[in-house]
Amino acid sequence: MPRIVMKFGGTSMAGIERIRSVAARVKREAEAGNEVLVVVSAMAGETDRLVQLCREAAALHDPSEYDVVVASGEQVTAGLLAMTLQGMGCKARSFMGWQLIKASGVHGNARVETVESATLDEALKGGTVAVIPGFQGVSEDGRVATLGRGGSDTSAVAIAAGVRADRCDIYTDVDGVYTTDPRIVPKARKLAQVTFEEMLELAGVGAKVLQVRSVGLAMREHLPLRVLSAFEDEPGTDIVAELSGEHMERNLIAGIAADKNEARVTLTGIADAPGMVAGVISPLAEAGIQVDMIVHAATPNTGSSDLTFTVPRASLSQAMAVIEQLKGASGYDQLVTDDAVAKVSIVGVGIRSNPQLAAKMFEVLAERQINLLAVSSSEIKVSALIAEDQLDLAVRVLHTAFGLDAEQAA
């Protein structure tokens, strides 16, 4: 019998009416012959309310007491959903995090370690829907532990892996993963299928849809994910290891990612000697600063070179402080920074086998007089750093050029 995990976010659990409509969906899946586990978030706004109470109680609060307080939100929705299902004639019971989810790591930001699958198996085989509060488990010291804000997606995936579910469905208030941000491109289209890798690279687009950590976990666990609307009865987006069936004919490019959260750093006149790049990048990494889009090429016969990279805008001043301390050792001429930049990327498994896609991207941007400040590429993504005020234009023209606009699709 297929075993599925259904995960519902806070908006879907906000009030009894919505819980009733969640229960109706759950019942339908159970009646269709699935073994069903449901992972629920707290009612929308409830976790914020509880976090605020903790802040007011003590500025520097004990994370294990914080966990006791904030974990209560999902306990409430788990109990309410179980009784609503029972009221609809569907066998159900709630389990608390402390009854079956062993977590490790620090309080307030723990990780799911093991799931007591024997207890769940027994319930599921008896035809009972298991309702589990997301975002929590029990720590090694036997206390309530939460998994960090937004951790319910990850806990749903971890529970699905723990009980060897066939699929994990994430019901949310968006109805799937789009080819790009629909606020920039109104013609953005919902993708029927996307690979895990593409989903991770589209994070800038998909961040509001799914926690990145949960996608990485599902990929490692070979667990197919589905993102779909909690409110509409429409197919969502399947997130899979490899495109399959009709979807193999999908566009080579899955979508266009846009990221305004970048700042550019350039060091000029670096001595052209081994270890000079590492001498800059390593201290930044040690300071916990994420460095991206590293571009370095020596100018032949000059003995010196420029190094350009990006850091998150929020880390720029910290990065500058680290680099200024290096001045003597690394011997660069000038430190130039620019935080009015943005990154636009084409993402798709097709890039792997079609080098001409990168070339096409550069041509399309050049036609619109969009200057490339830096370029980087991975197996399934090509990114260009451009001026921030050209970002929306860049996303639009690339979306059209790669055949992603809604009316262009079949």
Answer for the pair 45, 14: CB distance below 8 angstroms, yes or no: yes
Amino acid at 404: L
Amino acid at 223: L
Of 48, 65, 221, 339, the residue at the interface with a second copy (CB under 8 A) is 65
Residues of the chain by 3-state class (helix, strand, coil), percent to 5: 40, 25, 35
Is 96 among the residues that bind a second copy (CB under 8 A)?
yes
What is the closest distance, in whole angstroms, from the C-beta atom of residue 163 to a second copy in the complex? 19
Is 59 among the residues that bind a second copy (CB under 8 A)?
yes
Q: Please give the structure tokens belonging to residue 160.
A: 């699905």
Q: Using CB under 8 A, which of the segments 89-97, 199-207, 299-307, 345-353 binds a second copy?
A: 89-97
Identify which of residues 122 and 234 has a Cβ nearer to a second copy in the complex.
122
Is 281 among the residues that bind a second copy (CB under 8 A)?
no
What DSSP letter does each residue of 117-145 carry, written as one string? HHHHHHHHHTTPEEEEETTEEE-TTSSEE
Q: Using CB under 8 A, which of the segments 53-61, 159-167, 206-214, 310-318 binds a second copy?
A: 53-61
Answer for the pair 254, 349: CB distance below 8 angstroms, yes or no: yes
Is 410 among the residues that bind a second copy (CB under 8 A)?
no
Among residue numbers 101 through 160, which ones bind a second copy (CB under 8 A)?
Answer: 142-144
C-alpha 344: how far from its chain's center? 18
Identify which of residues 58 and 278 has a Cβ nearer to a second copy in the complex.
58
Is 89 among the residues that bind a second copy (CB under 8 A)?
no
Of 22, 26, 78, 307, the residue at the interface with a second copy (CB under 8 A) is 78
What would the 3-class secondary structure string for 352-377 be?
HHCCHHHHHHHHHHHHCCCCCCEEEE
Is 50 among the residues that bind a second copy (CB under 8 A)?
yes
Identify which of residues 58 and 366 has a Cβ nearer to a second copy in the complex.
58
Helices (H), 12-151: 16-31, 46-57, 63-70, 72-87, 97-100, 117-125
Answer for the pair 248, 278: CB distance below 8 angstroms, yes or no: no
Identify which of residues 8 and 332 has a Cβ nearer to a second copy in the complex.
8
Identify which of residues 92 and 386 has a Cβ nearer to a second copy in the complex.
92
Identify which of residues 76 and 295 has a Cβ nearer to a second copy in the complex.
76
Of 76, 203, 252, 406, the residue at the interface with a second copy (CB under 8 A) is 76
What are residue 228's DSSP bridge partners? 171
What is the closest distance, in whole angstroms, from the C-beta atom of residue 352 to a second copy in the complex? 49
Amino acid at 365: L
Identify which of residues 96 and 380 has a Cβ nearer to a second copy in the complex.
96
Q: What CA–CA distance (Å, rounded) separates 79 from 355?
A: 53
Q: Please give the structure tokens belonging to residue 362.
A: 């550069």
Interface residue list for a second copy (CB under 8 A) = 16, 19-20, 50, 53-54, 56-62, 64-69, 71-73, 75-76, 78-80, 82-84, 86-87, 93-94, 96, 98-99, 142-144
